[in-house]
Structure 1
Amino acid sequence: MSKRASRQERQQEIVDHVVAHGFASAADLSELTGVSLMTVHRDIGELGARGILRKYHGGVSAQPSTVFESSSDFRLHTNVAAKNALAAEAVRFISPGMSVMFDDSTSALAVARLLPEIGPLTVVTNYRQITEELRAHEDIRLIGIGGEYSRTHDSFLGLPAQEMVGSLSVDLTIQSTSGITTDMTYHQEQEIVLMKRAMLEAGKVNVLLMDGSKVGRNALHRHTPVSQFDHVLLTGPIEETMLAAMREHTDIQLVEVD
């Protein structure tokens, strides 16, 4: 085994461990991988620079913050029941023959997994996970949005992707984001915000899916006002006063989670 391959495998082991547990100390990772603390610090420095994990004093985290979005791998394993409940409700807006655009959120992926049951559809997305999910289904016409590949988000971003989205018009867009207050939505990264805004412009009807962990939370960049979405689907618990304030701006639906 080459030295480079060994380092790659070790770093993947670190990523898998941190994604599974949310965070880990450098000492934990040194014991896990059997290498020195100095080597572990180099590894987590590289992973932090690539945006896969967030380095902090003494260790590394996969948890989101106001300026750091978690990787796709981490988000795939969090709040799964809530995302599935939101997806089951969101498919009510989709009927055969429609065109639907999805962002690179794992909530959107949960919806995409239900689409083969609906029938012929045109699906547009920049999220590799969704293209992998739907590529074998003949009833799904799949349009992939190209651009610069982001390993952190497992999606395609940048100016080419934004320009492609700007050339399209779809019946429905479905997206999620990192935080929502009574009147505003947020995300940590401006490049993601620009893609989500472009998708909003492309949709005749826009639906936002948000699990309860994101409600009342903000992030570094303002995405768009809540009023720009035609429907907002949320899981609780959410205070009644907050729900009432949000309902002044658009249709808010509270979804129960089994």
Structure 2
Amino acid sequence: MSSNALRYEAAPARRRAILEQVRVKGFSSIADLAEALGVSDMTVRRDVRRLDELGEVRVVHGGVSLPPGHEFSAREHENAGPKHRIGQAAARLIRPGDTIAVDAGTTTYALVAALPDTFGGSVVTHSVPVMQALLETPTARCVGLGGDLYPLSRAFVGPATVEAAARLRVRWCFLGAAAIDDRGCYGAYDLERPTKQALMDIADYVVLLADAGKFRGSAPVLLASMERLHAIVTDAEPPASVRQAMERHDVRLVIADGEDIRQEAP
């Protein structure tokens, strides 16, 4: 086989590797990609131009990033296994006819993906991906909350969204967050806070869904104090400080660890 043919065969694998790295990091420089792949800058530039033509990435000054609207897809691929297990564990809390609220985010999205085909309850949500997923669950009713579309989280936010939520009532609110400590859970953007709090306000029980990485994360916007939560579903034992705060406020812990799901008594 000629050297040109070998380069041709390697190109799809390189492009997949480039796409995976950009999905994980959000942005990568040409130099970093070339070093990671062991090829020249020119080869990487040729590959990213092709990915740009296909709409998979966007070539920007100094490197390559995800196109607008692809941030959710990138986050969905992060910690996919733990999120899947967390979604399955959370789904076991729900009765067949429950009315639930599902926050925007990739971990809460995993809950909807884990709902059984026979689920016949109602789902209140401002998340566009959740609405789309529920099209494949014809037995469930979806109550979509409109408002201003926030592309970063692919969700509706703003006064209209909050007002629509205030007219409703749900049994469970499944909440997402960017970080957790002993004081509570946090989000990255204040723009999303009023909608998340509106969903908590209409719920009998608030359940935080978060992979273990959120215990090591940092985010500026306080979404809910620990006492506001009724349960946390995660994939590993929380840090001691968080565990002690949960015990003080009677917050239930559900750990989805592989096939084993460990739950504290309510």
Same fold by TM (over 0.5)? yes
Shift of 1:211: 0.5
Where does residue 28 of structure 2 map in the other structure?
Answer: 24
Opposite residue 186 of structure 1, the aligned amino acid is Y
Q: Distance in 2 between matches of 1:179 and 1:141?
A: 31
Partner of 2:116: 116
> Are the aligned partners of 1:243 and 1:252 in contact in 2 as well (CA < 8 Å)?
no
User: Which residue does 2:263 correspond to in 1?
Assistant: none
2: CA distance, partners of 1:46 / 1:17: 10
Report the counterpart of residue 213 of structure 1 in structure 2: 213
Where do 1:56-135 residues align within 5 Å? 71-135=71-135
Q: Who wins on radius of gyration, i.e. which is larger?
A: 2
Structure 1 unpaired stretches of 5+? 1-13, 54-70
Matched AA of 2:22:
V
Structure 2 stretches lacking a partner, 5+ long: 1-17, 34-43, 51-58, 259-266
Query: What is the number of equivalent residue pairs in this alignment?
Result: 223
Q: CA deviation at 1:22?
A: 4.8
After superposition, what is the alpha-carbon deviation per residue over 1:209-247, rounded to whole angstroms, capped at 9, x for unaligned? Answer: 111000143311111101101111222253345422332
Q: Are the equivalent residues in 2 in contact too, given 1:26–1:40 (CA < 8 A)? A: no
CA contact (8 A) 2:26 2:66 kept: no
Structure 1 residue 117: deviation in Å? 3.7
Q: How large is the RMSD of aligned CA atoms in angstroms?
A: 2.8
Give the residue type in structure 1 aligned to 2:48.
Answer: T
**Shift of residue 44, structure 1, vs aligned partner:** 6.5
Q: Deviations over 1:138-197 (max 9, x none)?
A: 311111111122222111112211111122111111111001101221111001111111
**What SS does structure 2 have at the residue aligned with 1:153?**
coil
Task: Report the Cα distance in structure 2 between the residues aligned to 1:137 and 1:252, rounded to whole angstroms.
Answer: 29
Q: Output aligned runs, 1:224-239, within 5 Å.
A: 224-239=224-239
* Aligned-residue identity in percent: 22
Question: Residue 93 of structure 1: CA displacement?
Answer: 2.1
Contact 2:109/2:129 (CA < 8 Å) preserved in 1? Answer: yes
Partner of 2:204: 204
Contact 2:226–2:245, Cα closer than 8 Å, also in 1:
no
CA contact (8 A) 1:232 1:250 kept: no
Q: How far apart are the structure 2 equivalents of 1:152 and 1:253?
A: 30
Structure 1 segment 156-195 matched on structure 2, within 5 A = 156-195=156-195
d(CA) in 2 for partners of 1:40, 1:116: 42
CA contact (8 A) 1:81 1:257 kept: no
Alpha-carbon shift at residue 104 of structure 1 (Å): 0.7
Tell me the equivalent position of 1:249. 249
